[in-house]
Copies of this chain bind each other. A is one copy, B any other.
Amino acid sequence: MEYIKNFNVRNERNLTMLVDFYELTMGNGYFSSGIENKIAYFDMFFRRVPDGGGYCIMAGLQQLIEYLNNLSFSKEDIEYLRSKNIFSEEFLNYLKDFKFCCDVWAIPEGNPVFPNEPLVTVRGPIIQAQFVETMILLSINHQTLIATKANRICRAADGRSVMEFGSRRAQGYDGAIYGARAAIIGGCNSTACTIAEQMFGVPSAGTMAHSWVQLFPTEYEAFETWAKAYPDNCVLLIDTYNVLKSGLPNAIKVFDDILKPKGYRPKGIRIDSGDITYLSIKCREMLDEAGYEDVKIIVSNSLDEYIIRSVLRQGAKIDGFGVGERLITARSEPVFGGVYKLVAIEDNHAIVPKIKISENEEKITNPGFKKVYRIFDKETDKAIADLITLNDEIIDENKPLTLFDPVFTWKKKKVKNFYAKELLVQIFDKGNLVYDCPDVLEISKVAESESEKLWHEVLRFENPHNYYVDLSHKLWSIKHNLINKYSSIYNEEE
């Protein structure tokens, strides 16, 4: 299937003004205090894997890149901002001629990612690096949430096909479109969202609604008409009236009457309600008896990873799952809590690490301009840990590497015979795009092959092994010196 590589040009929107208003008040504030060009470093990261899972699947980078590459204020935007009567003309002039000039690094889409490591790092004038916060978070939070959920659902389906069916219950149009994209990245085989195929070249698919069956005087006539229209790709929805007494008998009759004489094999039946374990077992028996052992049974109806796992354990005979609202909204945990934090500034060309202190220890940020290495065992090719270092640190693969827990520092591990892969790649160099986005289907292969490099214990649904995300000794020292500095200021009176 060829798709329109630049399809979204036709649908291009200027989302520059999709920004939290405080980015603008701060931007104006930098100007009025003359610090708009101070160089700042921000990290985007998350603190917790949704649904208690062991890892997330990075997604949403391509849309973020398109946004950053097209960032510009129209005349109408400037006029609108002027009408608010709080922005200086100097600031508005700056926006009028806005040219994105930051450096951006990111972990490519499809990679498994873990809490507290930078997924995106931005370096540039504070006025720009701050401005892009909303869209960085919005782009990565949304698609990473859905790709991660899809990945869980596909693991539950255990090799069976999973189709994304959720457009009608998505949270807005982009929720449907980019949700379908993220679902494919996470492992879905296809989507019902037609425009997603057009935009991203991901396979779209679909058959019939109950209304098709209701429209005809009888279910048999509805199926007969469908089989004549789609003899070589016939999938019938059999639960409009009664699956076992009406739907399946009518389907088998139409397979026999219409398809068999012309030499066509039916493709499948779909069940969208009722007890899918019981019905699928019964349908399998009836189909097999009628000589349709190769006809697939597809089920849908408010499925998620828990229900899929449960019905498969009970012996349901299902070949494919259509998953809708619980995937497209990540219903069990619909918020991906990515944050964007200042981690350093430059003073006289020296990098000064910054930290955000919190009484909640997990909320204390990792300061400084950093790199993320993934450490792999050379023999098994399995990922052992991620190691966050300062940006100028280099890992010598020929020497043993000592990893230690950043909280319980006595927990140490010496690693030999490993290789280290840098996860963050440069996306923008002083505002110039230097990265080529892969196709969605390529990204979904990355997700598959890189997830396979995680130990089974990390892939587990419940209480997975906590994958190690450690800090280099140098980074750990900087962080703890900063924590001590602030705690001595605010706690000494006690």
Contacts from A to B (Cβ < 8 Å): 1-4, 7, 10-11, 13-15, 17-26, 28-29, 32-33, 35, 38, 40, 42, 74, 76-77, 80, 83-84, 86, 126, 130, 133-134, 137-138, 141-142, 145-146, 165, 167-179, 192-195, 197-198, 204-212, 214-215, 225-226, 228-230, 233, 240-242, 245-246, 273-274, 325-326, 329-331, 334-338, 340-342, 345, 354-360, 363, 486, 489-490, 493
Contact = CB atoms under 8 A, between A and B. Distances in A.
A207 B18 contact: no
Nearest to A336: B169
A280 to B, nearest CB: 16
Contacts of A211: 26, 40, 42, 130, 341-342
Contacts of A175: 142, 171-172, 174-175
28 contacts: A17-B194, A18-B167, A19-B194, A20-B165, A20-B167, A20-B168, A21-B197, A22-B192, A22-B208, A24-B206, A26-B209, A26-B211, A28-B229, A80-B198, A137-B168, A137-B169, A138-B176, A171-B171, A171-B174, A171-B179, A172-B178, A211-B342, A214-B354, A214-B356, A242-B490, A273-B360, A273-B363, A329-B334
Given A138-B167, A174-B174, A337 B360 contact: no
A29 B167 contact: no
A444 B178 CA distance: 29
A56 B81 CA distance: 34
A356 to B, nearest CB: 6
A133 B325 CA distance: 16
A231 to B, nearest CB: 11
A214 to B, nearest CB: 5
A356 B1 CA distance: 36
Given A18-B173, A138-B168, 19 more contacts: A10-B74, A17-B198, A20-B193, A23-B206, A28-B229, A32-B228, A33-B228, A38-B215, A40-B215, A137-B168, A141-B168, A170-B171, A171-B179, A172-B175, A211-B341, A240-B357, A273-B360, A274-B359, A325-B335
A172 B212 contact: no
B10 A11 contact: no
B206 A20 contact: yes
A464 to B, nearest CB: 23
A20 B172 contact: no
Nearest to A225: B33
A102 B10 CA distance: 27
Contact of A25 (B29, B207, B274): B207
Considering the complex of A and B, which 3 residue pairs feature the smallest CB-CB distances, nearest first? Answer: A172-B174, A22-B206, A21-B206
A41 to B, nearest CB: 11
Contacts of A130: 209, 211
A242 B486 CA distance: 10
A331 B330 CA distance: 10
Contact of A17 (B77, B195, B359): B195
A335 B302 CA distance: 11
Contact of A273 (B142, B245, B358): B358
A173 B15 contact: yes
A25 B76 contact: no
Contacts of A193: 18, 20-21
A230 B25 contact: yes
Contacts of A33: 225, 228-229
Nearest to A32: B229
Which of A141, A167, A171 gathers most chain B CB within 10 Å? A171
Contacts of A20: 165, 167-168, 192-194, 206
A169 B245 contact: no
Contacts of A241: 357, 486, 489-490
B169 A172 contact: no
A223 to B, nearest CB: 11
A26 B74 CA distance: 42
Nearest to A136: B168
A215 B74 CA distance: 29
Contacts of A208: 22, 25-26, 29
